[in-house]
Amino acid sequence: MLKSIKVRDYMTRHLVTFRSDTDLFTAINRLLEHRISGAPVVDSQGHLIGLLSEGDCLRGILSGAYYEATGGTVSGYMIREVETISPEVDIIEVSQRFLRGRLGRIPVIEDGRLVGQISRSDVLRAVKEFAQHEQGKAAG
């Protein structure tokens, strides 16, 4: 049953993260280097304080070009209100949350700290592995 598969089982645990004082161009370079479209922003204790996306970076560059002062830090451009999820949530519920919103990934929080991230592709991988397992049981 898909409800038995939890976010914890398929979330990505090793994330690229930023601090609020990270230089915007350093953050852009890390996004490009890791071929990712965004990353969580955490404080020194690992608590999630925001998200920085490619769109936020573009906004920072454009506003900088407008005012002829490019750059700044991640804190000036990150999104501070972030939808999060518990590692104990099942794959059905996270799928419903993905369908309700336009999110591609959701940070996973446990005891107030960032412990991972679940993406749409992680959910698809979970469903694929579940279906293959079920087919194997039916054949055997």
Query: What residues of the chain score a pLDDT lower than 50?
Result: none
Each residue's pLDDT tens digit, 16-47: 999 999 999 999 999 999 999 899 999 999 99
Q: Is 40 exposed, middle or buried (0-12, 13-18, 19+ CB in 10 A)?
A: buried
Q: What is the pLDDT of residue 83?
A: 93
- Give how many domains the chain has, as a whole number: 1
d(CA 74, CA 63): 14
Domain of residue 88 covers 2-139
Q: What is the pLDDT of residue 96?
A: 93
Q: What is the pLDDT of residue 140?
A: 59
Q: What is the pLDDT of residue 132?
A: 83
Q: What is the pLDDT of residue 63?
A: 75
Q: Which two tokens stand for residue 95?
A: 């799928």
Residue identified by tokens 């749409």 is 120
CATH code, domain carrying 110: 3.10.580.10
Query: What separation in angstroms does the CA of 131 have from each of 23, 88, 125?
Result: 44, 21, 10
Q: What is the pLDDT of residue 68?
A: 58
